[in-house]
């Protein structure tokens, strides 16, 4: 059944919503959401699976991570969630809670690799209970989740009554969630670990001579590297084996990657048994990989320094490319996960399987748009002042997260494919409780037509616009229609410039 990995993540995830104080007076919605207050912060739980469910097999060790916070002056609560099965991560969810003025109920929105969904909260005795549903490719996924507080640092979670396409799913186990301590690393580090933990291999010809090491350009090499998180996830440790076909000049490699909180960057160092040293700094994230700088030091050879990027075609393969220097544009290596067979990814025990949906025109259209958006953009509006849009991946290749600051108020948005329309869609949440849904339709290379519908305390509004990518550092958004339009924004063009 396609999507089983995401089913397990959603069934375990949905309901663990929480908060982080912003030091402001909370918005009016907070009075209706404050029952979530005890579930704030970062949490972790563990259990041994009592039965098979998707990629989780009976007897597997599963770790549950939930990071929860308030947003937009406590008008909405936001949570990010992920499972680890025998040390290997499976798809995450990004979830939002708010107050629906129309239904007068606390509501819940779900964004996961499996699809998009929603639900409603109720309080039952000491428990908070969420009844939810999600539109998945295999049908509607529904269930009931609950959380019961034990003390300020502990609560118990369970997902039950799950069905997928009308077929009953096993009830989930009771999971004891405990509050994490210490300072969390940056999101860049978390995304990096998600992308590169595991077993990898690259093969092919060497691109340069290293005579002191006995290597010649064109030699056929095989390099295997196993990367695993250590020290409570603060390090990514690698052990490598490098071999040259037909030559006795092999090498062992030991690497360590870590988050530098002062610089807000990832630093990596690899020591080779033949005396070579690799150093790298990961400085940023693109829609399909990472960018950084590297230094390669080999005995008897000039030190190489340059910029590089990694580009992922999917979660199981990526290419490293030099961006400057004498080898500009050259691919250093193409890495693939080991253990892949018939599109199945197994862990070291041969038990964990993940399936990825094949690429589609809809997915390609979304990734093309996401490639343009990832990063920080600035716009200076004549009536509202400076506006900042910061886009980053929240669930790789599935959903972007947008944080807006300035203008007419801060906003939080999720950008992904709406399973009902198949179009790239923004779901935007505003501080006053307004929810805006905007879809994008490709209208040529680097051009998208936008249509939005907005509902909130200010009433109902629709808007049409055109988004144009002028170049990699400029986006123009022209409003073509707005109803009602008390501010006269129809015909206005907003110019967004990428922050360098």
For residue 277, give the CATH number of its domain: 2.40.128.20
Judge whether 324 lies within some domain.
yes
Q: What does the alpha-carbon distance between residue 490 and residue 477 come to, in Å, rounded to a whole number?
A: 11
Tell me the two tokens of residue 495.
Answer: 């110019």
User: Distances in Å between the alpha carbon of 278 and those of 127, 211, 304?
Assistant: 52, 17, 10
User: Is there a single domain that holds both residue 282 and residue 405?
Assistant: no
User: Is there a single domain that holds both residue 20 and residue 169?
Assistant: yes
User: Is there a single domain that holds both residue 170 and residue 223?
Assistant: no
Tell me the two tokens of residue 90.
Answer: 């499976």
| Cβ(316)–Cβ(308) below 8 Å | no
Angle (CA) 215 221 225, round 5°: 115
- Report phi then psi at 485, rounded to 5: -135, 65
Q: What does the alpha-carbon distance between residue 424 and residue 91 come to, in Å, rounded to a whole number?
A: 20
Average confidence score pLDDT of the chain = 83
User: Is there a single domain that holds both residue 217 and residue 306?
Assistant: yes
Tell me which of 49-58, 94-103, 249-258 is least confident: 49-58
Place of tokens 């056929």: 220
- Over the stretch 273-315, which tens digit does the pLDDT of each residue have? 888 899 998 988 887 889 988 888 888 778 888 889 999 888 8
User: Is there a single domain that holds both residue 208 and residue 174?
Assistant: no
| Cβ(192)–Cβ(266) below 8 Å | yes
- Over the stretch 19-38, which tens digit does the pLDDT of each residue have? 333 333 455 788 999 999 99
User: Is there a single domain that holds both residue 175 and residue 196?
Assistant: no
Q: What is the pLDDT of residue 287?
A: 76
Tell me the two tokens of residue 441.
Answer: 């339709």
Average pLDDT rounded to a whole number, residues 39-53: 82
Tell me the two tokens of residue 271.
Answer: 């020591």
Share of the chain above pLDDT 90, in %: 40
pLDDT-based confidence at residue 339 (cuts at 50, 70, 90): low
User: Is there a single domain that holds both residue 191 and residue 297?
Assistant: yes
User: Is there a single domain that holds both residue 158 and residue 43?
Assistant: yes
The kind and range of the H/E element at 318 are strand 317-322
Q: What is the pLDDT of residue 4?
A: 46
- Over the stretch 304-330, which tens digit does the pLDDT of each residue have? 888 899 998 888 899 999 888 777 888
Q: What is the pLDDT of residue 148?
A: 94
User: Is there a single domain that holds both residue 66 and residue 114?
Assistant: yes
User: Is there a single domain that holds both residue 296 and residue 385?
Assistant: no
**Domain closes at, from 124, 145, 179:** 179
**Domain closes at, from 298, 318, 345:** 345
Judge whether 238 lies within some domain.
yes
| Cβ(6)–Cβ(395) below 8 Å | no
- Over the stretch 56-83, which tens digit does the pLDDT of each residue have? 788 888 888 888 899 998 999 999 888 8
pLDDT-based confidence at residue 13 (cuts at 50, 70, 90): low
Phi-psi region of 198 (alpha: psi -120 to 50; beta: other; left: phi over 0): left
pTM of the shown model:
0.62
User: Which range marks the domain in which residue 491 is found?
Assistant: 361-498
Tell me the two tokens of residue 2.
Answer: 């396609």
Average pLDDT rounded to a whole number, residues 124-147: 89
- Over the stretch 184-204, which tens digit does the pLDDT of each residue have? 456 788 888 888 988 999 998
Q: What is the pLDDT of residue 351?
A: 28
**Which residues are within 8 A (CB) of 28 and not within 5 positions of it... i.e. 6 or more apart?**
433
Average pLDDT rounded to a whole number, residues 119-133: 92
User: Is there a single domain that holds both residue 264 and residue 304?
Assistant: yes
Say if residue 384's pLDDT is above 50. yes
**Domain closes at, from 127, 145, 179:** 179
User: Is there a single domain that holds both residue 328 and residue 206?
Assistant: yes
Say if residue 262's pLDDT is above 90. no
Judge whether 354 lies within some domain.
no
The DSSP call for residue 395 is E
Q: What does the alpha-carbon distance between residue 196 and residue 186 come to, in Å, rounded to a whole number?
A: 16
Say if residue 468's pLDDT is above 50. yes
Q: What is the pLDDT of residue 10?
A: 54
Domain count, the chain: 3
Q: What is the pLDDT of residue 479?
A: 95
- Over the stretch 429-441, which tens digit does the pLDDT of each residue have? 998 889 999 999 9
């Amino acid at each position: 059944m396609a999507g089983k990995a995401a089913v397990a993540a959603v069934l375990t995830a949905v309901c663990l919503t929480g908060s982080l104080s912003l030091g402001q007076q909370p918005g009016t919605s907070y009075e209706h959401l404050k029952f979530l207050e005890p579930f704030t912060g970062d949490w972790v739980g563990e259990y041994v699976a009592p039965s098979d469910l998707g990629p989780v097999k009976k007897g597997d060790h599963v770790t549950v991570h939930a990071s929860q916070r308030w947003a937009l002056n406590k008008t909405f609560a936001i949570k990010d969630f992920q499972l680890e099965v025998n040390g290997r991560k499976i798809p995450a969810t990004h979830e939002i809670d708010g107050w629906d003025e129309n239904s007068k109920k606390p509501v819940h929105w779900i964004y996961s690799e499996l699809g998009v969904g929603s639900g409603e909260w109720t309080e039952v005795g000491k428990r908070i209970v969420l009844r939810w549903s999600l539109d998945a490719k295999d049908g509607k996924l529904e269930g009931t989740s609950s959380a019961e507080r034990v003390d300020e640092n502990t609560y118990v979670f369970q997902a039950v009554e799950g069905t997928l396409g009308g077929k009953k799913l096993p009830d989930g186990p009771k999971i004891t969630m405990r509050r994490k301590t210490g300072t969390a690393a940056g999101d860049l580090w978390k995304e990096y670990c998600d992308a590169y933990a595991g077993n990898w291999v690259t093969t092919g010809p060497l691109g340069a001579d290293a005579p002191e090491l006995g290597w010649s350009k064109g030699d056929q090499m095989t390099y295997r590297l196993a990367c695993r998180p250590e020290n409570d996830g603060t390090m990514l440790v690698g052990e490598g084996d490098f071999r040259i076909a037909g030559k006795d000049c092999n090498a062992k490699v030991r690497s360590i990657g870590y988050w530098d909180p002062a610089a807000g960057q990832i630093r990596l160092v690899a020591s080779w048994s033949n005396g070579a040293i690799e150093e790298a700094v990961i400085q940023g994230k693109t829609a399909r990989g990472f960018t950084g700088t590297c230094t390669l030091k080999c005995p008897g050879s000039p030190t190489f320094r340059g910029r590089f990027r990694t580009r992922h075609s999917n979660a199981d393969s990526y290419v490293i490319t030099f961006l400057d220097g004498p080898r500009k544009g050259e691919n250093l290596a193409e890495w693939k996960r080991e253990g892949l067979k018939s599109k199945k990814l197994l862990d070291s025990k041969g038990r964990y399987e993940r399936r990825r949906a094949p690429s589609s025109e809809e997915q390609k259209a979304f990734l093309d748009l996401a490639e343009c958006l990832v990063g920080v953009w600035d716009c200076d509006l004549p009536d509202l002042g400076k506006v900042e849009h910061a886009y980053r991946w929240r669930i790789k290749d599935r959903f972007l997260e947008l944080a807006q600051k300035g203008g007419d108020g801060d906003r939080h948005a999720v950008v992904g494919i709406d399973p009902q329309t198949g179009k790239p869609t923004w779901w935007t949440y505003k501080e006053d409780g307004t929810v805006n849904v905007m879809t994008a339709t490709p209208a040529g290379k680097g051009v998208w037509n936008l249509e939005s519908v907005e509902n909130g305390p200010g009433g109902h509004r629709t808007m049409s616009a055109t988004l144009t990518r002028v170049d990699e550092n400029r986006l123009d958004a022209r409003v073509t229609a707005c109803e009602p339009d008390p501010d006269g924004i129809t015909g206005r063009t907003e110019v967004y410039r990428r922050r360098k």
